[in-house]
Chains A and B, each alone.
Chain A
Amino acid sequence: MDNLFNRKYIIQGLFIVVALILIGQLFYIQVASDRYFLSANSNVLRKKYTFPARGVILDRNNKVMVQNEPVYDLMVTPNLVKPFDTLELCRIIGIDMKGFHKRFNKARSQSLYQRSVFEKQLSVQTYAALQERLSRFIGFETQNRTVRHYPDSVAGQFFGYVKEVSEKDIDESDGYYRPGDYIGKSGIEREYNDVLRGERGVENTIYNARNVPQGSYLEGKRDTLAVSGETLVSSLDIEMQKLGEELLKNKVGSIVAIEPATGEVLAFVSSPTYDPNLMVGRQQGNNYMDIFRSPNRPFTVRPVSGYYSPGSAFKPVDDLIALQEGVIDPNTTFNCPGGYWAGNHLVRCEHVDGPISMRRGLARSCNTYACYVFQKLMTQSKFKSKTAAYDSWAAKVRKFGLGSKLDLDMPFERKGRLFTSEEYTKRFGKYWGYTTVISLAIGQGEMSATPLQMANIMAIIANRGYYIKPHLIKGIGEKKEVKKEYLIKNYVGIDLPHFEPVIDGMQDAVNAPYGTARESAIPNILFCGKTGTVQNPHGKNHSVFIGFAPRDNPKIAIAVIVENAGFGGSYAAPIASYLTEKYLTGKLSGNRIERAEWMKKQVILPEIPKPKAKFVPKPTDSTGKILTVPVPAANTVTSKPAATKPVTVKPATIKPPIQTTR
């Protein structure tokens, strides 16, 4: 009996073991894992989202540049769908039966009980037709959305575009985004996405096991209304932007105009451009590919990512630095015999002027003068070595914003290029000097700037010594808040008195009879500027002009680049003058209207590269050892023995678009 009595413990032990097994499993599903907790919520909660309208963008005169248009997503809840006339639905929304089944099966595979998108972005007209019959299509409903509309069809690269979020966006948003949300993918829409997007509204409804709504969750405490995005006030002048795009039509290039006193960007043209309305709606994907594939890359935002050597447009900066350093004064003259011998190669001038001073040197864009100034800067006795001299010079140039980002409120800005002495040493070895890098004197060689940086240099000179960070959005929201960084003056380290002599030269460049851009003078306004004709190793020279106006109390600083258009005075300068006059006076005067129309009609597109070119493009570097001499006027390329090849910075002659007396 004793033996059997012990069996009591075996039985009791078994009970306890089984109880522990049960408790163990309970611990796993209740405490250790939250999988079931989440499943429970997804069982009962259905979230219905309302989508906010994105913020409106205004131009500087409060004209609407972007607004929102209603569209309608057709939604379907698969388990609620009752048999209906599918053909009729297909006809209304313009799809075929195959498409219908594809969409329906997709919705069904997502969820039987949750609604999902059946067809996106139906227009108001389609919606009206659908609305009449929607009661017959049980299980279908519509959901309001808004899409962008650009009334003027301009400034595509400025706006960028809005697209449905990708898987990646959702993953990176820490749960903010859900499939079907929109996000700014480029341009202002991307940069200011957080401000523009607004807040999604949500309505939590509890459903019972039979999928019948049981009222709102927690009495609606978690429900929110959609909040529209903030309004942005852009600094752009839409009329000027429009004119700028027209003037650059059928050309490749870029225009940036800045209000010097505020750093506000007035025009932001990148050509070729595209109609931003193409990047909206059901055809977005197809249009995207069309634009993407079209020549000269319309999606490239040239004002911030185009690299151009500034060419002669750089000369005023170098002169300012020289004045500040005291190596020259405004009356210093150098002899120009038609070129400057840097070691064994010649930097040619387009003219023979003899003794030439700063004012005339800038007006006539004298390369010899510029090279002498550069030589003076590089050979100052205070520097122990050439690298110290170069680095000191480069640091002063960098203060003008070259070689680093200006932090424009636009994605994908590039910083331009300016070598350090180490980089030169790496390229040329130990033995290099100012003659090796003499191209820098005329803004060529290892110097690239974006159009934005060039315009900013003009703003610095217009302000006589400082700039405010250029920006495209000058006010955010109801209060039109301005970012604090856009109120700070960034000084470039040049004293005020040094500016007037340089500006004298720039005034003459446009207004003197011997100036390089004299056809671009604006009646009754003192327009100051500097042409540049930029050597382009890949083809014809680029036409560059930077300028500002009026001379006193300047209202606009502008940079224009027209690729492959040759002489700076022929295309870039007139375009800049038309825009400047239009901005300052609201119109063009005299025959300048016809000249602007003529300009709009010009077609200057890069030649499609031929399989066998007459010359093989080679990078032009400061040594000048490998150089090609494009002669834009003749539109041919000649090649000469390498040893004696001169650097041709500016072609001798060019046929200007409007022939005036020279």
Chain B
Amino acid sequence: MSTQQGSRFFFNVDWITILIYVALCTIGFVNIYASIYNPDTSSLFNFGSNYGKQLIYIITGLILGFSILLLDAKFFSVFSPIVYGITMLLLMAVLVVGRNVGGNQAWISLGGGFRLQPSELAKFGTALLVARYVGNFNPKFRDIKSIFIVALIIIFPLFLIMLQPDTGSGLVFLAFMFPLYREGLSGYFLLIFLGMIVLFIADFLVPLYILIPIILAVGGFFIYQNKRKQKIMISIVMATIIAIAYLFVVKLAYEKVLEPHQRIRIEIMLGLKSDPKGAGYNVIQSKIAIGSGQLTGRGFLEGTQTKYGYVPEQSTDFIFSTIGEEWGFIGCTVVISLYIFMLLRIINLAERQRSAFSRVYGYCVASIIFFHVFINIGMTIGIIPVIGIPLPFISYGGSSLWSFTVLLFIFLKLDSNRMGFI
């Protein structure tokens, strides 16, 4: 089997996923071009400009991706602790030697105008190690010990990223919930997580004197349901107490821990504040741009909001507003459908793996991409607070594009080798 692989590198590679990948990269390039397009000075191949650079990133990304397909599939499993270790070292290094861009100390300058964002690398570093741990020990997460170990693997980089501080990239690490859930982590963790988010939002919108009685009533209802089962009753009581305590902790953390700009973003998203000229400017302009696209969009290079620079950071985090304005509801639906198709495909591919390592890694890839897409698009249309993370494969930027490419192509390599043993 290994001889077969050696002679035919691209045998069994899932070309459908690669096709979607290329499509998304192309959409990215076209829209970055439109975002930067200036009616006065326009030439398609200007490598000094951002769309020129993005073209280079796409080409080098493809080269990088196909190089990964040339590697031995065993490499990733074997070297995953080392990759993880290196990325953690980089995350620590960036806190010392990093360049401060936009309030976050997230970049390491590599000279020649290129710079590296270790938090991007940490995503697949962590994904590899999580996959390795699950693949090796098959823990099922029924015991505290395995949960503790896997949590450590995930929370360590998260903690380092939060120190930068880069909340957006940090939040993405919550995506690892999904692969762990698939591997046996209790569904309660997801529910608790969901409950935390609901309570967090409710904490801002509903006064405590209404919220606390509601929680007590719900708790009381469950106690009544399980009045014969003492053990469950205790955990319900505990849960109720924790829920109420959580409300106060959130309030406190909100005041003490979050930066003022983060607080404002949350308040704007929840509709508690409107600040069209200040912190809310990005979201409002982004919504205007997307909304003005209507059903079919204004057409390529015809978006007035895009052309005349009304949306800040439009080629990076807010690239989706260009798509919305120039390609309309139809264009947006096509892009979202491409993502969903890719994600469902990756999960289907993951499920056909013989090795747990490949399967877990596949889930990690899908979940990380999903988180990015959801948070990024959600933020541009105003249903999620402004969190600065890129739209995978589409947003301008080498670090982001390459890291997603590596993330994806490692999985494609593992998948092409699905019949082999790792």
Contacts and interface: CB of A to CB of B under 8 A. Distances in A.
The answer to whether A and B interact is yes
- What's the interface size class on B, roughly? 35 or more
A58 B288 CA distance: 52
B304 A23 contact: no
A186 B295 CA distance: 47
Interface string B285-301: 10111111111000000
Interface stretch (B5-13, B47-55, B175-183, B245-253): B175-183
Interface string A30-44: 110111110111011
A21 B381 CA distance: 11
Nearest to B281: A209
B310 A44 contact: yes
B422 interface: no
A27 B309 contact: no
A636 to B, nearest CB: 77
A12 B383 contact: no
Given A19-B340, A30-B329, A8 B291 contact: no
Contacts of B139: none
A16 interface: yes
Contact of B290 (A12, A21, A23, A29): A29
Nearest to A208: B308
A608 interface: no
Contacts of B290: 26, 29-30, 36
B377 interface: yes
B347 A31 contact: no
- What's the interface size class on A, roughly? 35 or more
B374 interface: yes
B304 A44 contact: yes
A5 interface: yes
Interface stretch (B158-166, B213-221, B257-265, B331-339): B331-339
Nearest to B297: A30
Interface in B143-196: 178, 181-184
Contacts of B305: 40, 43-44
A206 B378 contact: no
A39 B288 contact: yes
B267 interface: no
Nearest to A207: B308
B347 A43 contact: no
Contact of B332 (A26, A41, A44): A26
Given A8-B182, A12-B347, A209 B288 contact: no
A21 B383 contact: yes
B390 interface: no
A26 B308 contact: no
B275 to A, nearest CB: 15
A286 interface: no
A208 B288 contact: no
Interface in A6-29: 7-8, 10-12, 15-16, 18-19, 21-23, 25-27, 29
Contacts of A26: 290, 324, 329, 332-333, 381
Contacts of A207: 308
Instruction: Select the residue from B294, B332, B337 with max chain A CB neighbours within 10 A.
Output: B294
Contact of B329 (A7, A12, A31): A31
B343 interface: yes
B351 interface: yes
A210 B344 CA distance: 43
B309 A37 contact: no
A33 B288 CA distance: 11
A227 B158 CA distance: 68
A214 interface: yes
A37 B336 contact: no
Given A8-B182, A37-B291, A40-B288, A22 B308 contact: no
B383 A25 contact: yes
B370 interface: yes
Given A7-B182, A44-B308, A209-B309, A29 B344 contact: no
Contact of B344 (A10, A12, A18, A34): A12
A4 interface: yes
B328 interface: yes
Instruction: Select the residue from A8, A12, A19 with max chain B CB neighbours within 10 A.
Output: A19
Contact of A30 (B309, B328, B370): B328
Contacts of A22: 336, 374, 377-378, 381, 383
Instruction: Select the residue from A15, A25, A40 with max chain B CB neighbours within 10 A.
Output: A40
A30 B183 contact: no
Contacts of B288: 36, 39-40, 43
Nearest to A44: B304
B332 A210 contact: no
A206 B182 contact: no
B183 A4 contact: yes
Nearest to B374: A18
Contact of B324 (A4, A15, A30, A209): A30
Instruction: Select the residue from B182, B288, B332, B383 with max chain A CB neighbours within 10 A.
Output: B288
B184 A5 contact: no
A10 B185 CA distance: 14
A33 B291 contact: yes
Given A21-B383, A25-B381, A11 B347 contact: yes
Given A15-B343, A210-B309, A35 B291 contact: yes
A19 B347 contact: no
A206 B178 CA distance: 48
Interface in A212-269: 214
B31 to A, nearest CB: 16
Contacts of A41: 292, 304
Given A8-B347, A11-B181, A36 B308 contact: no
A209 B344 contact: no
Given A4-B182, A16-B340, A19-B336, A30 B383 contact: no
Interface string A136-180: 000000000000000000000000000000000000000000000
Interface string B385-397: 0000000000000
A206 B377 CA distance: 28
Contacts of B339: 19
A18 B371 CA distance: 10
Nearest to A15: B343
A457 to B, nearest CB: 65
Contacts of A30: 290-291, 293-295, 324, 328-329, 332
Given A36-B291, A209-B310, A27 B182 contact: no
Given A22-B374, A29-B381, A44-B310, 16 more contacts: A10-B181, A11-B178, A11-B366, A12-B347, A16-B340, A21-B383, A25-B383, A26-B381, A30-B291, A30-B293, A31-B294, A31-B329, A36-B287, A36-B292, A37-B291, A39-B291
24 contacts: A4-B183, A4-B184, A5-B351, A8-B182, A15-B344, A18-B374, A22-B374, A22-B377, A22-B381, A23-B333, A26-B324, A29-B290, A30-B328, A36-B291, A37-B294, A39-B288, A39-B291, A40-B292, A40-B304, A44-B304, A44-B308, A208-B310, A209-B308, A209-B309
In order of increasing CB-CB distance, the 8 nearest A-B pairs are: A36-B291, A40-B292, A208-B308, A29-B291, A209-B309, A30-B329, A44-B304, A39-B288
Interface of A: 4-5, 7-8, 10-12, 15-16, 18-19, 21-23, 25-27, 29-31, 33-37, 39-41, 43-44, 206-210, 214
